[in-house]
Structure 1
């Protein structure tokens, strides 16, 4: 391993190191660090909890029909609420202003940023971010926004390092996904295919296993007659959609006559809505009239156990943790670990460990561009910024192209570097960094003297901030670019603690963070 591996590992397996953490990792070694991170205890994470407790977001709206005007600063109170406490916000007939209906999304977005910066369980935060993108829901829809705190807390976070089969069922039965992909309205005789298609194409086997262009009958798919098809076709999607009929939400819908479901927002299985007749999915025959939810659960098991799912998920994990085009040998090795551990409660953690300890992980140079969430969190951590989250910061992250929980298509945000490198996107990235350094959005004052014991020259300051942010030897090209951009002579004296010195040092750290060395991981 080269001397910069701790910095690189903490940028990939976390949101970057705080001062001193790279050296601490060098001392304990990556295996021991992974042992702790992949089995986070349930004890208090004091620094993170303090940041969550202290955060306040502004909500303001005028009086309307049925509500008074509001302008106040609110805590993140929705994070711990059960779904039935927030579900009334989804009812368009109830008198709530628009900002009230969207406030749970803002709270979860703020908590996501705060946890990325302050949590000691960095790898869990990275995996939570990964799975939110993999199992994407669009919280711009008011019912999904109301369900988002429960989805984040009870589904994504709870299963982020666990067993994928259990994870699939938690997602499939979550209110957020049932609403987003319309399965709550799926009935026998008119099964909605949205969830079933995304289960195969995005959540499970992947687009590479979609073989409908080659085969239009299930028995023609290689391996299908033996119950082990190489991939899936539209017939599998149609039949799987029938298997999930009756998986619904207590949203007040009518059951016939004068009976209605309660309006709690919780999952419910409605037997009378389920298609009980025989089915065939992935070459497997389903007998009619199975026990409640058995059809859907069997589909989930078939998807979770399919080798194409292992390859699809492990390629996505390697892409997230290493590079846009990870080595195929690593993807296949990780997929084998996935399959070997598919009955283990910590299946995902075991796969992540195998990837992190692989030679490819150590040998792959930094090239993957950080997305805006990573950029903000890694900058705050590298500069030891005691960051809070404000509406202004959330708005700026939204404008950068990564509106947290606001991606409309089920694909989620792209995880390739070129998607984040347009001219407008780069300007937004630089604005994010400069705004954090100069505290434009009242997120916290940066300590301009952090790497220095006293007065320094401009060149020494640029080099000192490069060591602090990047971890390796400073780049002469970056130093020269900063001198030119700030119109500073390399020998100019900068004194921390003085207004002019602090202003220049803060701007300098933002410029260092704009360099390719910090922008990639």
Structure 2
């Protein structure tokens, strides 16, 4: 049944405004500002709101006033040194999570894969026939093995909503996307808590070389991009063949394979395709996947000046970088010299002598971390995150210069960007479209929500089109707005706003919003003005104001965030018509203005 004409018009207005978000500001090209260094175009209030929308996941009630009172620059300086901020309240929220501090080996022991559990039972009972009890055990094991992933995703959203260290969370989101891994590959999910906890979080504002090293040696990345399987091609010299590793490596290979076979029989193994890599079990030869993405996505960038031969040589240098089999239940990085191509190499114009081992890979990381193209690539990507989809070239060059001058100090590169005149310009203000993760978190923060310890908030992110750790390709989720704006995704965002206003996002009850009790009894015009001030920074288009005043609802529902894939799904789940202040808040959260940051 077609919608009445008024509602057709209302939906058209919203869709037009939302689609305009994808194009960014009116001029798609960032015009270089003509002003002295240090001059800022935004008002003090706008500067505070802008900083909270870029260095944090949006303001909570009262945040703009607090940041304005303390000074925007002082607040930025605090966020740049997160360890000095008291986040003990967040620690208490996370305390009940049983698996956040677990190692991969502990997770495998306590949450074994279903197939491993069945193999263990059959080994114990000597029974090889599937029966009803086996089926039940498999279902229970599958459910249990998903528990720790659900906790990890829930904690990620909870931190973004409630942590005082907001820039730390923004940078964690940035680097987890930059060094993206996919939860669905093999048994990689068992490595994810450690990947986030020990690989990414400690280095978010540290030195890029240290972060790159941690990622390159993480079981998660070694598994995801198959470097754990990469061994010297047949006929190539290895450390063992040159006598540098000798019989010790050969003996080690036999020991490793025995441990792998035993572990697989009882636990199903860890990272099942990778643990046998380079350990005497049907060698698979050179794998270029990680080498390619290291150069293209992690460091130099696609136009960074490397060649296909460089990719091959980097892959050779990284042979033997693998994952230790879980003989003791703990998969960790292991350099296997018997699998390492020990021949000479030439990478990015630098000669690597023959006969070396792990030093080859370490030198590769040195070369790419300090390459001029890496400085520009990382600087631009950070400028895209913090400033605009098309950041000004002069700002990118200054940030790249900071990267080179400080030996890749991420904190100083971010400082260069977020204290720049370009950052505090009219062209950068509200120029970015929020990702689904940012939509969910900023909405929860806007209504004064608390950390959600259930899985529902992370599920809402997935339903809006961005399942955490769910991007299969290594390029991560898009950082630019056009990727998130299509009709289905837009309607899903409108619907999600109504969900929040219905108090059906855990931890985000609208009644907890401080002005709620007062505004609820006010005339509609005052309600609209209060909502625009609180949620849209006092700035809304004429069309949005008219929509909020009219109360027309294009979806005729306030259902929960709809099920859907990468682009979202516009189908409401539980039809419910909102009224009064709840309706105004819901429509404001779904408005084009709220979709920008």
TM-score band w.r.t. shorter chain: 0.7 to 0.9
SS at match of 1:351: helix
Q: Shift of the alpha carbon at 1:146? A: 0.5
1:276 equivalent in alignment to 2:342: yes
1:35 equivalent in alignment to 2:77: yes
Q: Shift of the alpha carbon at 1:447? A: 1.8
- Are residues 134 and 386 of structure 1, via their aligned partners in 2, closer, same or farther at CA, if it must alter by over 3 Å? same
Corresponding position of 1:200: 295
Instruction: Give the number of the structure with larger relative contact order, counting CA–CA contacts within 8 Å between residues 6 or more apart.
Output: 2
SS at match of 2:580: helix
CA distance in 2, matches of 1:35, 1:442: 32
Q: 2:56 aligns with which of 5, 11, 14?
A: 14
Q: 1:307 aligns with which of 372, 385, 404?
A: 372
- Are residues 29 and 318 of structure 1, via their aligned partners in 2, closer, same or farther at CA, if it must alter by over 3 Å? same
Corresponding position of 1:495: none
Q: 1:134 aligns with which of 175, 178, 185?
A: 178
* TM-score, with length taken from structure 2: 0.73
Greater alpha carbon shift after TM alignment, 10-19 vs 443-452: 443-452
- Runs of at least 5 residues in structure 1 that lack an aligned partner in the other structure: 54-74, 210-230, 253-260, 488-499
Q: 1:482 aligns with which of 539, 543, 548?
A: 548
Greater alpha carbon shift after TM alignment, 429-438 vs 154-163: 429-438
CA distance in 1, matches of 2:214, 2:439: 30
| Aligned residues of 1:51 and 1:388 also touching (Cα < 8 A) | no
Q: Aligned pair count?
A: 455
Corresponding position of 2:419: 357
Greater alpha carbon shift after TM alignment, 85-94 vs 119-128: 85-94
CA distance in 1, matches of 2:470, 2:112: 16
Corresponding position of 2:492: 428
Q: Shift of the alpha carbon at 1:366? A: 1.0
- Are residues 449 and 90 of structure 1, via their aligned partners in 2, closer, same or farther at CA, if it must alter by over 3 Å? closer
Q: Shift of the alpha carbon at 1:236? A: 0.6
SS at match of 2:100: helix
CA distance in 2, matches of 1:18, 1:104: 29
Q: Shift of the alpha carbon at 1:433? A: 2.1
SS at match of 2:180: coil
Q: Shift of the alpha carbon at 1:295? A: 0.5
Q: Shift of the alpha carbon at 1:136? A: 0.1
Greater alpha carbon shift after TM alignment, 415-424 vs 27-36: 27-36
Aligned pairs for 1:221-300 within 5 A: 231-251=305-325, 263-290=329-356, 292-300=357-365
SS at match of 1:268: strand
Q: Shift of the alpha carbon at 1:273? A: 1.2
Aligned pairs for 1:17-166 within 5 A: 17-41=59-83, 45-53=87-95, 76-88=97-109, 93-95=115-117, 97-166=141-210
| Aligned residues of 1:251 and 1:265 also touching (Cα < 8 A) | yes
Corresponding position of 2:273: none
Q: Report the structure number with the largest CA radius of gyration.
A: 2
CA distance in 2, matches of 1:193, 1:262: 30
Q: Shift of the alpha carbon at 1:16? A: 0.8
CA RMSD, Structure 1 to Structure 2 (Å):
2.2
- Are residues 194 and 87 of structure 1, via their aligned partners in 2, closer, same or farther at CA, if it must alter by over 3 Å? farther
* TM-score, with length taken from structure 1: 0.83
SS at match of 1:41: helix
Q: Deviations over 1:247-289 (max 9, x none)?
A: 111235xxxxxxxx65522111111111111111111111112
Corresponding position of 2:133: none
| Aligned residues of 2:205 and 2:411 also touching (Cα < 8 A) | yes
Corresponding position of 1:393: 457
1:516 equivalent in alignment to 2:557: no
Greater alpha carbon shift after TM alignment, 200-209 vs 2-11: 2-11
Q: Deviations over 1:222-266 (max 9, x none)?
A: xxxxxxxxx1001111011011111111235xxxxxxxx655221
CA distance in 1, matches of 2:154, 2:460: 12
CA distance in 2, matches of 1:178, 1:372: 28
- Runs of at least 5 residues in structure 2 that lack an aligned partner in the other structure: 1-41, 118-137, 234-284, 554-575
CA distance in 2, matches of 1:315, 1:102: 37
Corresponding position of 2:401: 336
Q: Shift of the alpha carbon at 1:188? A: 1.4
Q: Shift of the alpha carbon at 1:24? A: 1.9
Corresponding position of 2:533: 467
| Aligned residues of 2:551 and 2:584 also touching (Cα < 8 A) | no
Q: Shift of the alpha carbon at 1:461? A: 0.7
CA distance in 2, matches of 1:12, 1:420: 18
- Are residues 401 and 200 of structure 1, via their aligned partners in 2, closer, same or farther at CA, if it must alter by over 3 Å? same
Q: Shift of the alpha carbon at 1:443? A: 4.0
CA distance in 1, matches of 2:539, 2:457: 31
Corresponding position of 2:467: 403
SS at match of 1:412: coil
Greater alpha carbon shift after TM alignment, 270-279 vs 449-458: 449-458
Q: Shift of the alpha carbon at 1:451? A: 2.2
| Aligned residues of 2:448 and 2:513 also touching (Cα < 8 A) | no
CA distance in 1, matches of 2:366, 2:221: 18
SS at match of 1:365: coil
Q: Shift of the alpha carbon at 1:47? A: 2.9
Q: Which has the higher strand share?
A: 1
Q: Shift of the alpha carbon at 1:44? A: 5.2
Aligned pairs for 1:449-468 within 5 A: 450-451=514-515, 453=518, 455-468=521-534
Q: Shift of the alpha carbon at 1:91? A: 5.7
